[in-house]
């Protein structure tokens, strides 16, 4: 079969729509056969991305967790949520704190998290494990060899991050809060090392 540019775009778009997780270039190549090169797929993704950026389109191509996925545009979020049954994916403020600490400190132990937050955090770590936002990262060399935790690919997908380097710097986070808002943070950002 002789493939046209439109044929390739159509297949790539179908694969993106059918997948429930970000697709890597290698995923496209394995589905489409040896007739294509990685550079062909990359060019097609750039083309699709520019198409989806047009005002009348309701979806966008997002790079997340080392791959690409189609998502609804942010400005349409409220409409999509009204269609979904059940509750949207939300975390409590303490859960977001623990997840943030793990994201910036990883790998880290439950004791280190609790020390930064100045309160016991084991139940929150358990919840984040159940939601597959964090996972085990081995055992620490500290006495008792406590478990260490790190974020998962699902974390990157949920927050639309290409990789961990896409996280905002701690300095950017501090600057985003007005001085009066900075006191509202329940844990001290300076106790997290910016990695």
What per-residue confidence (pLDDT) applies to 75? 86
Q: What is the pLDDT of residues 38-49, one digit of tens each?
A: 888 899 999 999
What per-residue confidence (pLDDT) applies to 168? 84
Helix axis angle for 122-130 and 93-105, nearest 10°, is 80
**Percent residues over pLDDT 70 in the chain:** 86
What per-residue confidence (pLDDT) applies to 170? 74
What per-residue confidence (pLDDT) applies to 175? 72
What per-residue confidence (pLDDT) applies to 194? 45
What is the strand order of the sheet 134-139 is part of?
108-109, 147-151, 134-139
d(CA 75, CA 24): 26
Structure tokens at 87: 């509750």
d(CA 28, CA 100): 32
Low-confidence ranges of the chain (pLDDT < 70): 1, 84-89, 177-195
Strands 59-64 and 67-72: antiparallel
d(CA 126, CA 130): 6
Beta bridge partners of 70: 61
- For 1, other C-beta atoms within 10 Å of its C-beta total 6
What per-residue confidence (pLDDT) applies to 151? 94
What per-residue confidence (pLDDT) applies to 73? 87
């Amino acid at each position: 079969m002789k493939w046209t540019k439109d044929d390739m775009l159509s297949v790539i778009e179908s694969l993106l729509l059918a997948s429930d997780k970000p697709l890597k270039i290698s995923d496209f190549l394995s589905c489409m056969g040896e007739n294509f090169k990685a550079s062909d797929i990359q060019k097609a993704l750039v083309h699709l991305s520019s198409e989806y950026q047009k005002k009348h389109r309701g979806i966008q191509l997002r790079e997340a967790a080392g791959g690409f996925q189609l998502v609804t545009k942010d400005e349409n979020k409220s409409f999509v949520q009204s269609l979904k049954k059940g509750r949207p994916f939300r975390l409590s403020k303490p859960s977001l704190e623990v997840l943030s600490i793990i994201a910036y400190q990883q790998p880290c132990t439950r004791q280190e998290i609790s020390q930064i937050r100045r309160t016991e955090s084991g139940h929150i770590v358990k919840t984040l494990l159940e939601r597959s936002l964090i996972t085990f990262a081995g055992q620490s060399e500290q006495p008792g060899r406590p478990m260490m935790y790190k974020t998962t690919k699902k974390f990157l997908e949920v927050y639309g991050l290409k990789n961990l380097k896409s996280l905002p710097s701690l300095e950017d986070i501090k600057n985003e809060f007005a001085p009066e808002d900075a006191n509202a943070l329940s844990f001290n950002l300076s106790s997290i090392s910016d990695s």
